[in-house]
Structures are given as C-alpha cells and as structure tokens.
Chains A and B, each alone.
Chain A
Amino acid sequence: MPTTAPSLTSPQSVMEAYLAELRARLRTLPSEQVTDIVEEIRSHIRDTAGAGGAMTEERVRAALGRLGPASALAGSYVTDNLLARAERHRMPWTILHAMFHWALLSVKGVFALVVCLVGYAFGASFVVAALVKPFNPKAGLWMIDGDTYSLALGLSKVPPQGHEVLGAWLIPIGIALGGGTIVATTFFAQWRIRRFRESRRLRAAA
C-alpha cells in the first residue's frame, strides 16, 4: 500500500468521500455485497488513478469522472439487483419492493406498480373473505340495493338492504378467484420486469 499518510485534502479523502456516498446509496443491498462492491470500486480507482506513480487529487478526480456520479453507479446496482431478485422469486412482497424502486425511475414503472397493487389487493381480499367464511357466516359477497356488490368480512353490521350471493360457494370461488388473481398479477409483474430489464440492459452501456 502507498505509504503516504492521508491528510484532509489528500487524494485519498476525495476517493473516500466518493466511496462513502456509494456505500450509503447501496444500503438496500445485503451488507456483504455492499462491501464487495465498494472494495472493487476502490481497487479500480487505485488502479486507474495510481498507475505508474502516486495518486494525485487531479488523477483521482479524473478517475471518478470516468466512473460517473456515485448515485448513478449505485442506481444501476440497486435497481438491477432488486429486479433480478423479483424475476426469480414469486413473493408479492419482493415484487412490490422492486416495483416501488422501478416506479421511482419511470412512468411505466408507476403504471406497473399500480396494476400490481390493485391486483394483489383484489386477490387478497377474496382469499381472506374465503378463509373467514367458515368462522363467520356473515362474511361474503353481498348484493346491496340490487346493483352494488360488496365484499364483506362480516365484521360490521349486515347491510339491511342486501343479501349474500355466494353462500358457502364463497370458499372455493374466493380461493380460486383470489388465488388466481394473485398468480396472474405475479406473472404480469414478472413479464413487465423482464421486458424492462431487457430494455435497460441495452441502454446500460450507452
């Protein structure tokens, strides 16, 4: 290692400031991976700014310039990592987490996030209603005033003008419809994520 002691305005402190920002912006990744990335970039800066001599502040700044802003560098790691995980895993939570990050990047991401939120909420409410039904007969799909459907868990009062539509059928129908919607939403999300990652991959090297 170079034996120069770091002073306040040393090339090292410029590099460390960059790496600290990078580390901070990578915080959503597992800490092991963050250290691995930061050390790799540190090694890269030392190679490019210190090749054939000591690092000078000017050379460090030039090296950092070629790497681009720490925020942009961290952004490509974080988004890609989250979306890659979401593509492999089927847990709604993982998918929504990744979608939320994507929504911060593009309008298409916002659209996909909204569709997924609606899909999961719709699916989950049917599944929950079906699961509650055996314990609470008031839970069910209620028809109110002859034209409005309302899914109820039977926790509040029974609507006076309504009647329950499905009866015990709520259990199989609710599980099938709710579960199906959740699965379909997941497929939709993964399809959108795949498409987005493909387009991003092309843009990544611009």
Chain B
Amino acid sequence: MAIQTIAPPESADKWEVQLRKGCLELAILAALWSDRLYGLEIMRRLAEESGLVVPEGTVYPLLSRLKSEGLLSSEWVEADTGHPRKYYRLTAAGRGRLVEMARFWQNFSASLDDLVAPVRKGVGKEAR
C-alpha cells in the first residue's frame, strides 16, 4: 500500500536514528581501515558507501574523542589546495578495537537476520 510507505511511524523513525548513532563509531573506525583520511573524506565515505549521513558538527568532536582514547592518531598534511588537512589513521589499539567490534557486529547482525527472515517471508506472502 502506498500510504504505508510515505512516512514510517514516529517510533520506527526514532529507532532508526538510534541505530545509526550507535553504529557511528564502528563506521568511522571501519572507514579508516585501509587509508588515512581527513574529516570531510570520512563523512563522504560514510555517505557514499553506507548511506550514513552524519551532521558535520558531530563528527569532529567524535574524532577528537577517539583520538584521546588512543584509537586514532592524526597528522597535518599540506595539500595542493593551499591549506593543510588533518588526517586520521588507526593506531594499533584502534585496529584491535575495530576487529573486535566488526566481529561482534557480524555475529549480531547474522543472528538478527535469522530472526527477521520469517517476518520478511511472511510480509512477502501477505503482499501477494
């Protein structure tokens, strides 16, 4: 039904927001897995690869916290554009933490998938 797809109920909407927020730390660390990136690049990568659009004003303080927790390190690099950029990379501790988080995430999402599978099938049948 078209009506149902226009706007999800408010509670579902809030739940989605909470879920995205909870995953933000993992997403940022994962974006840095193979490259060093500066803040704006991290946001772009999150938006392009996972559709995770994050307010700019929240990413920088979060990066600062991850750095103070020893999970990230940063360095200033002079760029062609004429102004330097602050690049972040994972530290050894950050790499270890990310591996743990990714493992947990995979187990968690796999078991939820199993749980949700019958619901999806059921919805498919009802629609027909």
Show the binding face of A for B, using Cβ within 8 Å.
1-2, 36-37, 39-44, 46-48, 50, 66-68, 72-73, 76-77, 80-81, 84, 201-206
B68 at the interface (CB under 8 A from A): yes
**Contact residues in A for B86 (Cβ distance below 8 Å):** 36, 39-40, 43
Which residues of chain B have a CB within 8 Å of any CB of chain A? 17-18, 20-22, 24-25, 38-40, 54-58, 60-62, 64-65, 68-69, 74, 76, 81-86
Report yes or no: B84 in contact with A76, Cβ–Cβ below 8 A: no
Q: Which of B18, B40, B65, B68 gathers the greatest number of chain A CB atoms within 10 Å? A: B65
Q: Given A202-B18, A204-B62, A73–B83 Cβ distance below 8 Å?
A: no
- Please state if B82 and A1 are interface contacts (CB–CB under 8 Å): yes
Whether the Cβ atoms of A77 and B83 lie closer than 8 Å is no
A202 to B86 alpha-carbon distance, docked (Å): 25
Q: Min CB distance, A153 to chain B, in Å? A: 41
Chain B residues with CB under 8 Å of A77's CB are 60-61, 64
A84 touches B68 (CB 8 A): yes
Q: Which single member of B22, B55, B56, B65 contacts A44 (CB below 8 Å)?
A: B56
Do A201 and B25 touch across chains, with their CB atoms under 8 A apart? yes
- Measured in the bound complex, the distance between the Cα atoms of B66 and A204 in whole Å is 14
Instruction: Describe A's contact surface by its main secondary structure.
Output: helix
A43-B57 in contact (CB<8A): no
- Asked if A42 and B83 sit within 8 Å, CB to CB, the answer is yes
Say yes or no: B58 contacts A204, CB within 8 Å. Answer: yes
B61 and A67 form a contact (CB under 8 A): no
Residues of B contacting A76 in the complex (Cβ-Cβ under 8 angstroms): 57-58, 61
CA A201 to CA B24, docked complex, whole Å: 9
Contact between A202 and B40 (Cβ–Cβ < 8 Å)?
A: no
Please, how many angstroms separate the alpha-carbon atoms of A202 and B15 in the complex?
12
**A146 nearest CB across to chain B (Å):** 55
Please tell me if the beta carbons of B56 and A67 are within 8 angstroms of each other in the complex: yes
Looking across the interface, which residue of chain A has its beta carbon closest to that of B22?
A202
Residues A44 and B84 in contact, CB atoms below 8 Å apart: no
Whether B57 lies near A72 (C-beta < 8 A) is: yes
Q: Can you list 9 pairs linking A and B with CB atoms under 8 Å apart? A: A40-B39, A43-B84, A44-B40, A77-B60, A81-B65, A201-B21, A205-B24, A205-B54, A206-B17
What's the minimum C-beta distance from A64 to chain B, rounded to whole angstroms? 10
Q: What separation, in Å, do the CA atoms of A63 and B24 have in the docked complex?
A: 22
Cα-based distance from A41 to B60 in the complex (angstroms): 8
Sorted nearest first, the 4 A-B pairs with minimum C-beta distance are: A68-B57, A76-B61, A205-B21, A1-B82
Q: Are B56 and A37 in contact (CB under 8 A)?
A: no
- Please tell me if the beta carbons of A2 and B82 are within 8 angstroms of each other in the complex: yes
- A1 contacts across to B, CB distance below 8 A: 82-83
Q: How far is the CA of A44 from the CA of B38 in the complex (A)?
A: 9
Q: Cβ of A80 and Cβ of B61 under 8 Å apart?
A: yes
The answer for the CA separation of A48 and B57 in the assembled complex, in Å, is: 13
